[in-house]
Amino acid sequence: MTVDDHAPIELSTLSKWVSPNTLLWLENAERKERASKEEMEKEGFNYGARLFETEADREEEAELQHSRVRTWTASAPGSDGIFDSTDEQVQNNTGTKDCPGLRVIYITSNSSEGHGNTIWASARHVSNLLGHTESCRRVLSPLLKQRQRESIPEAIPQNHPLFGLSFVELGAGAGVPSWTAMRCGARVVCTDQNVADRIRCIAESAERNWRDMKKTECGNVLETAKIARSCPYNWGDPIQEVTLSLNKNELFDVVIAADCCYMPFLQPKLLESIDMLMSKEGVALISFALHGNAPDEDVWGVVDRAKEQGFCVEALEPKQLTLSTFGMELKQGLVQTVRLTRQPCK
């Protein structure tokens, strides 16, 4: 990829990935940002900044621009999908033996320092679980067994287990689980808080994954991928904008919240949103690590809160992943995953 390949895609091109209301909101935010920059230049702020700019500053700016478009590949080369791809590997759509070609593209957001610009261990783990056929069948087994009993066509065994399912991610950040699901044939709505730059980056990620998929995919997977949507959503708010994103007023088969539990005071709103969004037979996966910003027992409080909300809660096998950045504690890479369903617990 060249630097130009990493330049933001025009908002007019991204319009198909958002609702009309969201597009108007993004256009308004873009106008305000442009007007603010013009005002700063008029007042001479930009000139002053450039006057003292060094060559190192310009090189750093170019590097940041070049690195805004990134890729993540399932389980290559290690067990947790940490993979810094080269341009050649991007073009060749490198994959893995049991999950060939499962490489997703994501965009980093300037407004999400420490959040949307990092692929946290929880997001990598849940993406691997969903991307690989057998592990996906295991984690979604309550839903898939119910679908098989009801003989719903989407549950045809030869398809990936996610094919045709409605899928929503909460607090998505870079949205790697969403783009994994998109490439596996799910009908995806990727949400994050009501911040324009985050939602724009999510829409651009959908566009870039769509373009990449068209090189290798065909048929039904492309048909479901093209209806993916980027949607602003704050936990606890009304869900109508989210449920209408797939052109149907429907609840979701799969709800994902990766690394969304580290602020315990937000857990009640997160669980309220899961309760509102998840279908009767649906499955929610909450994956998290213990970052030390809050007492560990408070973060684990999500389990009791979910039970109080009426969910059946099952703890899945934890997984130790490579740490996202240097200097992190080992427990920040130890991913815990709990599965929520509405079915009676055994």
C-alpha–C-alpha distance, residues 125 and 104, integer Å: 14
State the Cα–Cα distance between residues 173 and 117, nearest whole angstrom.
7
Q: Write the burial class of residue 247 (CB in 10 Å: 0-12 exposed, 13-18 middle, 19+ buried).
A: exposed
The whole model's pTM is what?
0.87
CA distance 236 to 234: 6
Contacts 24+ apart (CB under 8 A), 209-217: 209/104, 209/105, 209/179, 209/182, 209/183, 212/93, 212/103, 212/105, 213/182, 213/183, 215/93, 216/93, 216/101, 217/183
pLDDT bin (cut points 50, 70, 90) of residue 224 is very high
Tell me the H-state helices in 219-266: 220-225, 240-243
On the question of a cis peptide bond just before residue 77, with omega within 30 degrees of 0, the verdict is yes
Mean pLDDT of the 124-133 span: 94
Report pLDDT digits (tens) over 140-193.
999 999 888 665 555 445 689 999 999 999 999 999 999 999 999 999 999 999
Dump strand ranges (E) for the chain: 69-73, 103-107, 166-170, 187-192, 229-232, 252-258, 278-288, 312-315, 319-320, 334-341
Residue 170 contacts residue 270 (beta carbons within 8 Å) = yes
pLDDT digits (tens, 9 = 90+) for 31-45: 998 888 877 777 665
Pairing of strands 187-192, 252-258: unpaired
What does the pLDDT read at residue 41? 72
CA distance 248 to 87: 38
